[in-house]
Structure 1
Amino acid sequence: MNGLSIRELCCLFCCPPCPSRIAAKLAFLPPEPTYALLPDPDPVAGAAGAASGTGTGVAGAGGAGSEARWKLHLTERAEFQYSQRELDVTDVFLTRSSRGNRVGCMYIRCAPNARFTVLFSHGNAVDLGQMSSFYIGLGTRINCNIFSYDYSGYGVSTGKPSEKNLYADIDAAWHALRSRYGISPENIILYGQSIGTVPTVDLASRFECAAVVLHSPLTSGMRVAFPDTKKTYCFDAFPNIEKVSKIPSPVLIIHGTEDEVIDFSHGLALFERCPKAVEPLWVEGAGHNDIELYSQYLERLRRFINHDLAAPHA
């Protein structure tokens, strides 16, 4: 796209779209749910049932006392079924956002005695059921526990996807992680991938944490739709570019140089605005959905966690 046409300019300035409409067109593609949370009246029996290979297992409430306990049921669409060992280290539960939506959450204890827990905001067109196997592999390899959640309208989370709901959803996840598991902010790494960078940047601009990872991030909705956009309009959705400079924590930005969905220039622009940006990872030849397949992805994450975060920051 070389620029805005006269018709597009007229539409923008005479009848500017509301942020929710931009968001809906650019971002939200919730899949058919790949999992369900079933009430678990008998945790011990539930665990035994999971061991029988039904794809159903126990997920406790992480020390939530008398609160409801749930068991995780993965459908065939999840393309991955838990072993009993994996079920034993996975908790699933529901919390509620400030906007009244029920938010599905998943906590995976991948690494005993891990210093950090990653609060992971996933990309588009997936839910917790599809991401669970990736979380287990990632947490094990970078020696971190993983906490994730589904956006409103994704998985078992209720409501409809919207920009405002994204911010409320991650707030609910943040408070659940802190209250249910007693994790302090200095031990939380916020990780956002693609559309997940939107709630991640918003939260990170308001709360200090151990660190932030922005994986294939976007600068704003308008800049994705109209690449020649140079300023942030009042009706723009997802204005990461305006919030990233307020992040007080160390930030690692990862972007593929051949990203066909969110151009590499978005990662560069955010890097330049980040006051505490560390050495970024620009993955030569990588697109939007294959960065994890490159060896430097895990290498850089490990170095970020084990070395960059151990060094003093101004």
Structure 2
Amino acid sequence: MAKSQWATFKTLFNIFCCPPIPSRITNKLAFVPPDPTYVLLDHPDGQGKIFRPLESAEWQFGSSELENIEAFSCTTKNKESIYVLSLIRKNSYKYTIMFSHGNAVDLGQMSSFLTYLANELKCNIFCYDYSGYGASSGRPSESNLYADAEAAFECLLQRAMLKPEEVILYGQSIGTVPTIDLATKVKCAGVILHCPLMSGMRIAFPKTKDTWFFDSFPSIDKAKNIESPVLVIHGTDDEVINICHGQNIFKQCPKTVDPLWVPGAGHNDIEMYPIYIERLHKFIEQDLPYS
């Protein structure tokens, strides 16, 4: 048997005779909800909830910034109740960023970074916890991930009275999965993909070239259907999701802007590089069609 034939046979044997269990791959890759790092208190006027980060959230701002955060819930098509943080301060801001966060964090841990991002970019921010994360009900799953993003987006449009073209979808790590899925269904102002992954199998088995029927998170096949401008960000030394994932997603998106490949950056430290915030400014102020 020729070497190439043996390689093909070995691949098929591993897939069909020793198939991975998609749910296990999904759980290993994506869903590690931390212990909740925030509490929600009843609001005196009965409207929404009062958001309070716990000590484990490491809140980095004062009480005045905390008062700018609204918290409320919305119901998904899978009948889960997910919680949302809203940092909508000024109607004069042109864009609102809907942020889909990474794996092992919740809204409490994200609250300081989102506050920084809102202040720095002069954008409103809207972020949500996936089913099974933080105060959200249910259990994490791929189906819930997509339903959570859709519900959060509809909630954002209705609550803030926005049009899709005023919203930037931002996904980080596993958050790029629902972001890409949602971006194929709505035409928004723009899309930011921060350390995206091609699919679950391509993470677990890096030599995987094709999307198999049992694969999870097949973002590489969906990216070609995004009609909005896309900015891809990835660290060259990402030890969790290799930069080849970001590069291939970039190639698939039909309307990309100049990507940001951050030299020396890993999976969780891109935000520490000054070039990161500089590139976001350029994307919002120059790359978007209505900038």
TM over 0.5: yes
Which of residues 123, 128, 141 in structure 2 aligns to 1:149? 128
Unaligned runs of 5+ in 1: 44-66
Is 1:109 aligned with 2:88?
Answer: yes
Match of 1:298 in 2: 277
From the superposition, tell whether residues 89 and 244 of structure 1 become closer, same or farther in structure 2 (CA, over 3 Å).
same
Give distance in 1, aligned partners of 2:53 and 2:255. Answer: 39
Residues 93-132 of structure 1 aligned to structure 2 (within 5 Å): 93-110=72-89, 113-132=92-111
Is 1:194 aligned with 2:197?
Answer: no
Give distance in 1, aligned partners of 2:13 and 2:39. Answer: 46
Unaligned runs of 5+ in 2: 1-6
**3-state SS in 1 of match to 2:191:** strand
Give distance in 2, aligned partners of 1:82 and 1:172. Answer: 29
Give distance in 2, aligned partners of 1:140 and 1:81. Answer: 13
Give how far 1:25 is off. Answer: 1.8
**3-state SS in 1 of match to 2:78:** coil
Match of 1:38 in 2: 41
Give how far 1:5 is off. Answer: 11
Match of 2:154 in 1: 175
Q: Number of residue pairs matched?
A: 285
Give how far 1:68 is off. Answer: 4.0
State the one-letter code of the partner of 2:76. S
**3-state SS in 1 of match to 2:239:** coil
Give how far 1:167 is off. Answer: 0.1
With the length of structure 1 as denominator, give the TM-score of the two structures.
Answer: 0.86
Match of 2:16 in 1: 13
Give distance in 1, aligned partners of 2:228 and 2:290. Answer: 13
Match of 1:27 in 2: 30
Which of residues 93, 117, 121 in structure 2 aligns to 1:138? 117
Is 1:220 aligned with 2:199?
Answer: yes
Give how far 1:90 is off. Answer: 1.2
State the one-letter code of the partner of 1:298. I
Match of 1:233 in 2: 212
Match of 1:58 in 2: none
With the length of structure 2 as denominator, give the TM-score of the two structures.
Answer: 0.93
From the superposition, tell whether residues 228 and 86 of structure 1 become closer, same or farther in structure 2 (CA, over 3 Å).
same
Give how far 1:88 is off. Answer: 3.0
Match of 1:268 in 2: 247
Give distance in 2, aligned partners of 1:266 and 1:236. Answer: 15
From the superposition, tell whether residues 37 and 295 of structure 1 become closer, same or farther in structure 2 (CA, over 3 Å).
same
Give distance in 2, aligned partners of 1:228 and 1:5. Answer: 12
